[in-house]
Amino acid sequence: MKGRLPTTSTSDSLDDWFPRGEEFAPSDNGHGSDEDSVSSKRLGVVVGGSLTKGLDVKLDRDTEIEDLAVGRYVVIRGRQKRFFCMITDVVLDSTNPALRSDPPDLSDPFMREVYVGTAAFGTIHVAPMLSIDENDGEPKPVKTIPGHFTPVEIADMNDVNDVFGTEDATHFNVGTPLELDDTQVNLDLRRLVERSSGVFGKSGTGKSFLTRILLAGIIQREMAVNLIFDMHNDYGWEVSDERGPKAKGLRQLFPSKVSIFTLDEESSRRRNAKYDYVVTLGYDEIEPEDLAMLKTTMNLSDGMIDAAYACRKRWGPAWIVALLDATGEEIDNFVETSNVSNASLTALARRLERFERFEFLRKDGALGDSVSKILEYIEQRKTVVLEFGRYGSALEAYILVANYLTRRIHENYVKRVEQSLGDPSLVPPQLLITIEEAHKFLDPLIARQTIFGTIARELRKYNVTVLIVDQRPSGIDEEVMSQIGTRVTALLDNERDITAVLTGINGAGGLREVLARLDTKQQAIIMGHAVPMPVVVKTRPYDMEFYRSVGFMAEEDLPEAASEARRRLGGNGTRRRIE
């Protein structure tokens, strides 16, 4: 038997201390009856704490403290409930404060046995996240805590599956819990797209690969149609990994479900990216509202924005070309007949001259209706990846195009959803819009006026949500952050960013330490609407095994697949395209 029975002056029976009739080993609770296996999972017992501040667990003598890391899951089996908790801190403690200033000589093995685990011991601090009543088996928010000396165990595969379910039509495997490589965490994709969501992490933590995994799951399970503003050409076609090999893009994994649009035809050809449409915009299509999003990026003053509205009113849709071509006399005449100052008008013209660098902007009008084309593909349930090519490094080009297209697509969705109130067949497909550098769109100074801030606050009202990818969550408006339903967060080391991403999350105090100690690669904490409780995962590798799991067939798989197809056809040699 491990340890000693607790002493008490009352007449408590063993059943009061150990309700399942076991001395110190926890109940198998239907997850196996092997005594050694159960004992090996045990860590210690609850010795204190509270619901709001978390629980203190005294570790058993033979529990190796170095094996316990923040973010790992433990299970506390009470009389009627099973509590799922996350380790948020690991502490060395002692019964005698004098041991700190005068440590004993532990060179004698006998003295080590005397001190370690008794006078000097380890404790862990755990945050209760979820509880399951053993009568109904449904995971529920924690509203109480287990009693003193309740045994604490390492969570196993069955415990994780009880919380996160098994992979099915809506649940998608995104990785494994810490130290549990034999199981997986399944994200509820339906709940993920129901509300706006975010992928956060400092530069170099693999946000793009993590986002690509989520998008691949959404496309495979057909949970939503995606419009992806691909700033750095990371999603549509193959991209080089930092370690060398090329990672496949979404178009290669789902050739019939993903289309590539491009702003830079030359770049797409150079990379051999198979694009479907070249996006061009006419100067006459840009409205003052589109410039308002560029206020910070292009250093536009309120006077310049007012001047833009005045020009639009005076010259109509061709106002930008008219302003750029205006002579000094025309500028003077404009100033005399309006409330616009000469300085504001001249400064606006200088800012707009930057647009001449972008070949996709055409003075003589666009080559086609890009908004209608995108909507056409969305109606066919095809994901659209808009590659920016060399223009991805020009932030004003990215913001202008993303805002321009999103405003008009959202207007179309609003009209269609309102029309569908009388005819359900007119309901448009669920749309998820992915943007990078999200803090540039959702800065507190402009978030309430931008289309992306509007979409985030609307939740799912018009069947449109956003997936924001950003390394500076502290730059995003607090009201918008509060509406982000699911947050997938890699390592952040800036205190303001950590505070921002934990806004509105229960138990944020304990999660702060977990978040700050994630590995720099292939680890993330998932919190919010799509998971029943916060979870730290080792994310899936984006490799050939992943490609196959979402339906991609590699060249080496083709002979086997062809042989299987011939077998199903009775061996008659009939050729058929293999999906």
Distances (CA, A) of 531 to 63, 139, 187, 473, 539: 30, 11, 6, 20, 15
- In whole angstroms, what is the distance from residue 59 CA to residue 389 CA? 55
Q: Which residue has the higher pLDDT, 92 or 577?
A: 92
Beta strands in 95-167 (DSSP E): 120-133, 139-141, 151-154
Most confident of 104-108, 112-116, 329-333, 510-514: 329-333
Residues 553 and 578: beta-carbon distance below 8 Å = yes
Angle at 210 between CA 204 and CA 215, to 5 degrees: 140
Q: pLDDT digit string (tens) for 50-73?
A: 998 899 999 998 888 888 988 888
**Beta-bridge partner residues of 176:** 538
Provide the 3-class DSSP secondary structure of residue 116.
strand
What's phi and psi for 187, nearest 5 deg?
Answer: -85, 135
| pLDDT, average across residues 333-362 | 90
Which residues have C-beta within 8 Å of that of residue 116, sequence separation ≥ 6?
Answer: 61, 106
Residues 543 and 508: beta-carbon distance below 8 Å = no
Q: What share of residues in the chain are helix, strand, coil (percent, to 5)?
A: 40, 20, 40
SS3 per-residue string spanning 205-264: CCHHHHHHHHHHHHHHHCCCEEEEEECCCCCCCCEECCCCCEECCHHHHCCCCEEEEECC
Considering Cα of 221, then 222, then 228, then 230, what sign does the dihedral take? positive
Residues 332 and 342: beta-carbon distance below 8 Å = yes
Give the chain's mean pLDDT: 84
- In whole angstroms, what is the distance from residue 205 CA to residue 493 CA? 11
| pLDDT, average across residues 459-469 | 90
Angle at 559 between CA 553 and CA 562, to 5 degrees: 85
Residues 499 and 484: beta-carbon distance below 8 Å = no
**Beta-bridge partner residues of 86:** 73, 127
Q: Which residue has the higher pLDDT, 500 or 557?
A: 500
At 291 the pLDDT is: 87
At 563 the pLDDT is: 54
Residues 456 and 411: beta-carbon distance below 8 Å = no
Angle at 415 between CA 464 and CA 281, to 5 degrees: 75
Q: Work out whether strand 431-436 and strand 464-470 pair parallel, antiparallel, or are unpaired.
A: parallel
| pLDDT, average across residues 183-205 | 92
CB atoms within 10 A of CB 38: 20
% of the chain beyond a pLDDT of 90 = 44
- In whole angstroms, what is the distance from residue 313 CA to residue 10 CA? 87
Which residues have C-beta within 8 Å of that of residue 348, sequence separation ≥ 6?
Answer: 300, 304, 307, 308, 311, 323
Distances (CA, A) of 67 to 62, 260, 556: 12, 47, 40
Helix (H) or strand (E) holding 516, with range, is: helix 508-516
Predicted TM-score (pTM) of this structure? 0.82
Q: pLDDT digit string (tens) for 160-193?
A: 888 888 888 899 999 998 878 888 899 999 999 9
Q: pLDDT digit string (tens) for 400-426?
A: 999 999 999 999 999 999 988 878 888
Beta strands in 61-190 (DSSP E): 73-77, 81-94, 120-133, 139-141, 151-154, 171-177, 185-188
Q: pLDDT digit string (tens) for 477-533?
A: 888 888 899 999 999 988 999 999 988 777 777 788 888 888 888 899 999 999 998
At 530 the pLDDT is: 92
Cα 292 from chain centroid? 28
| pLDDT, average across residues 446-464 | 84
Quick one: tokens of 519? 């590995």
The residue assigned the tokens 């606006």 is 348
- In whole angstroms, what is the distance from residue 363 CA to residue 322 CA? 10
Instruction: Transcribe 362-425 into DSSP letters.
Output: ETT--SS-HHHHHHHHHHTT-EEEEE-GGGGG-HHHHHHHHHHHHHHHHHHHHHHHHHTTT-GG
Considering Cα of 511, then 72, then 155, then 112, what sign does the dihedral take? negative
Which residue in 224, 107, 73 sits closest to 533, CA to CA?
73
